[in-house]
Amino acid sequence: MSTQTTEKVTTNNFTTRAAASGIWKTIVSAIKNVVEESNFTINADGISFRAMDPSHVGLVDIHLAPSAFEKFECEKENTFCVRVEDFERIIKRAGKDDAVEISRSGEDALAIKIGKSKAYELHLIQVDTTATPLPKLTYSATINMQTEALNQAIADVSVVSNHATISADPSEVVFSGKGDTGSAKSTFKKEDLLGLTCQEAQKATYSLEYLTKMVGSMKDTETTILEFVNKWPLRLTFNLEDKAGMVQFYLAPRVQE
């Protein structure tokens, strides 16, 4: 029994090294807007994370491919859970071009090396987790657009409203909202988008508080794919640079429109 315990403590069964800190800063930014604790799974296919926020309004699903790292070694599937705030404080100490190496440091901690001179040990936490299923939906509208354009549309509607209504038909997409001070509308014709697939008109309303945080956390990505159907959850897909992985958000619609 004691031999097995010693082996767990002393064995580092994964090591990853990202050539620059951007990948981890993006992932932390995406996660912190949904949950306070993150339970990662790492195996030969990469690193994954999925969780729903406590109010069951937003869900984040992340996968990082082994190719996202200049070094990726994983002896066996492993899970580790950290407080997002603690993890973020360490990752923020990395400069833009600093390499970030993360490995298992015994049973209860991560070893994090930043650049050539910084080394941290981050204690892991124990949480009761259950698998978070993804919504099973067939989407009727798919919109591919520049992330910056989406950020601007969200900001336009936020001036007057706490919610954004997304309307799509075969020729255009409209982001709109209204409040006590007035109304706002941001329209994108099909030719202004990178892609639009919509056979018939679709419409749904979503929280701007969540949308702003979700899209804002992915501001460094070039494009966003939005998928929705009348009065059902919205899916936002962000493909990371150089096929490094993918971040998806699901956002429940406003119940009363």
pLDDT in tens, 66-122: 999 999 999 899 999 999 999 999 999 999 999 999 999 788 999 999 999 999 999
Confidence of residue 8 (pLDDT cuts 50, 70, 90): very low
Number of alpha carbons in the 13 Å side-chain half-sphere of residue 12? 14
> How far apart are alpha carbons 96 and 63 in whole angstroms?
22
DSSP 127: -
Please report which helix (H) or strand (E) contains residue 3, including its range.
helix 2-10
Distance of alpha carbon 136 from alpha carbon 138, whole angstroms? 7
Domain ranges in the chain with CATH number 3.10.150.10? 2-123
60, 30 in Cβ contact below 8 A? Answer: yes
Residue 131 has pLDDT above 80, yes or no: no
CATH class of 2-123: alpha beta
CATH code, residues 141-251: 3.70.10.10
pLDDT in tens, 216-252: 999 999 999 999 999 899 999 999 988 899 999 999 9
- Mean pLDDT for the stretch of residues 171-185: 97
Q: Quick one: what percent of the chain has pLDDT higher than 90?
A: 83
Residues of the chain within CATH 3.70.10.10 domain(s) are 141-251
Say whether pLDDT at 161 is over 80: yes
Residues written for the chain: 257
Across the range 9-31, mean pLDDT stands at 86
